[in-house]
Amino acid sequence: MDYNKIFTDINAKLSSYKDDGAVASYIPELQRVLPNKFGVHLCSVEGMNYHFGDSEEKFSIQSIVKVLSLTMAFEIEEDELWKRVGVEPSGNPFNSLVQLEYDEGIPRNPFINAGAIVIADVLVSKLKNPREDFINFVRHLSGNNQIDYCDRIAQSEKSKGHRNAALCNLMKSFGNIENNIHEVIDFYFDLCSIEMTCSELARTFLFLANYGKDPVNGNQIISSSKSKRINAVMQLCGLYDEAGEFSFKVGLPGKSGVGGGIAVVHPGKYSMVVWSPRLNKKGNSNKGMRFLEEFTSYTASSIF
């Protein structure tokens, strides 16, 4: 399929689309991003690449990293992990405190902030050098040694990260955080600060489109069973309290971030990343969702 032409066609179709979303402002550094940026990149499992727009420009991947930290923690912890974090959609905003109190410090899933903070805690407990080991893992997945954290973004988030600190403290009070809360939360902010282009991120997600195996170099990153489970959690929880809407309109496992990126996979076919920084009220990329809806309709490639 000529995805390049399809991207161009969809972009033309959306040319009159009025994006009333706003760039994330609660992390001061993210506010500096130009709101009208738009990029898309698709990697097919057969090794083809297709792209459009600002697909080679770095952006803050933010919560999309939660899929990669889950992948690493799942390899290390297997079954124990799921005693500390659930696999149910939250139906609540990604940084909600209310539900966590109700659920006695066990986050609904690993993709809301509380769940990702538990995953960060697991990695702090199990890795010798969490910061270094994790970025090496991401470099391995992406086949790119240049991928890195952005200290500027991490520091910016740290300066305003009171709500995440509150989530971490609340879970510590319930006994669901093992390590020093400052260490865990700083690591969590570092994870969210990683920068990638659409093409680098789509490449990184390719193993989840190919049953856990990187089709480019043949590395089995995780078992097909784990890959299936991670995709299932993405399908149900990857877009927070908009996961239902995303399933309804796009029909692919996906993960969003407040940097405006959305990564999706179609098992057996492709991984794809769209980036458009203006967010809707749920913190998901407005045009990114719209574009993906058009794309899966046009190509008849929802998984359903």
Ligand X SMILES: NC(=O)CC[C@H](N)C(=O)O
The footprint of ligand X on residues 74-113 (CB under 6 A) is 94-95, 113
Q: Is 180 within any annotated ligand binding site?
A: no
Q: Is 29 within any annotated ligand binding site?
A: no
DSSP 253: -
Select from 40, 258, 262, 289 the one that contacts ligand X (CB under 6 A): 258
Q: Is 164 within any annotated ligand binding site?
A: yes
CB 153 to ligand X: min, Å: 9
- Assess 241 for contact with ligand X (CB under 6 A): no
CB 303 to ligand X: min, Å: 23
- Assess 235 for contact with ligand X (CB under 6 A): no
Select from 100, 192, 196, 206 the one that contacts ligand X (CB under 6 A): 192
Asked whether the beta carbons of 106 and 86 are under 8 A apart, the reply is yes
Q: Is 102 within any annotated ligand binding site?
A: no
DSSP 256: E
DSSP string, 22-86: B---SSGGGGGS-TT--EEEEEETTS-EEEEESTTS-EE-GGGHHHHHHHHHHHHHGGGHHHHS-
Q: Are strands 254-256 and 261-266 parallel, antiparallel or unpaired?
A: antiparallel
Q: Is 113 within any annotated ligand binding site?
A: yes
Q: Which is nearer to ligand X, 25 or 173 (CB)?
A: 25
- Assess 247 for contact with ligand X (CB under 6 A): no
Select from 55, 63, 197, 204 the one that contacts ligand X (CB under 6 A): 63
C-alpha 31/C-alpha 21 separation (Å) is 13
Find the residue with minimal CB distance to ligand X.
63
Select from 29, 54, 121, 157 the one that contacts ligand X (CB under 6 A): 157
Q: Is 240 within any annotated ligand binding site?
A: yes
Tokens of 129: 């050098």
CB 239 to ligand X: min, Å: 9
CA dihedral angle for residue 52, residue 54, residue 58, residue 63, rounded to 10 degrees: -70
Number of residues lying near ligand X (CB under 6 A):
11
**What residues contact 71, with CB distance under 8 A and at least 6 apart?**
221, 222, 226, 230
The footprint of ligand X on residues 193-212 (CB under 6 A) is none
Distances (CA, A) of 159 to 65, 128, 162, 165, 177: 20, 27, 8, 11, 22
Count CB-CB contacts under 10 A for residue 25: 11
- Assess 253 for contact with ligand X (CB under 6 A): no
H/E element holding 275?
strand 270-275
- Assess 283 for contact with ligand X (CB under 6 A): yes
CB 26 to ligand X: min, Å: 7
CB 106 to ligand X: min, Å: 19
DSSP collapsed to 3 states, 164-202 = HHHHHHHHHHCCCCCCCHHHHHHHHHHHHCCEECHHHHH
- Assess 237 for contact with ligand X (CB under 6 A): no
Cα dihedral sign for 89, 95, 97, 100?
A: positive
Please report, in range form, the residues annotated as the binding site for substrate: 63, 113, 157, 164, 188, 240, 258
* Residues that bind ligand X in the complex, under the rule CB under 6 A: 62-63, 94-95, 113, 157, 164, 192, 257-258, 283
Please report, in range form, the residues annotated as the binding site: 63, 113, 157, 164, 188, 240, 258
